[in-house]
Structure 1
Amino acid sequence: MPQMMPMNWILSLIYFILLLMTFNIMNYYNYNNKMNNFLKINFKKKMLNWKW
């Protein structure tokens, strides 16, 4: 097994963490938008189905 350079390892780790963070942030925003739309639609349906 070849010995890894510590600096390379640290850099790759930082890069990976940054990638993960950006991915999570994107997912979070997309999820929030979807949830908001879903809740709005559900709310409208409930309001329409409500017995006036």
Structure 2
Amino acid sequence: MPQMMPINWLILMFFFLFIFIVFNMMNYYIFNFKMKKQNKNKFLTKNSIWKW
């Protein structure tokens, strides 16, 4: 593409790889934080009521 500035393909690959890794880490920690918050209430109620 003529309008694209001349960036090395290796640098471009590392740039997208970095964005991909940061996005996945952010998604993992947000999801993990939500699950920890929800699991505190669930474990307290479910573990206290055992019916065999």
Q: Which has the higher helix share?
A: 1
**1:24 and 2:21 matched:** yes
Q: Which runs of 4+ in 1 moved over 4 A?
A: none
Name which of 16, 41, 44 aligns with 2:41.
44
Q: CA RMSD in A?
A: 1.8
Aligned length: 43
Residue 47 of structure 1: how far off its partner (Å):
2.3
With the length of structure 2 as denominator, give the TM-score of the two structures.
Answer: 0.68
**Matched residues, percent identical?**
26
Residue 49 of structure 1: how far off its partner (Å):
3.2
Can you give the 5+ residue segments of structure 2 that lack an aligned partner in the other structure?
1-5
Can you give the 5+ residue segments of structure 1 that lack an aligned partner in the other structure?
1-7
The one-letter code sitting in structure 2 at the alignment partner of 1:48 is T
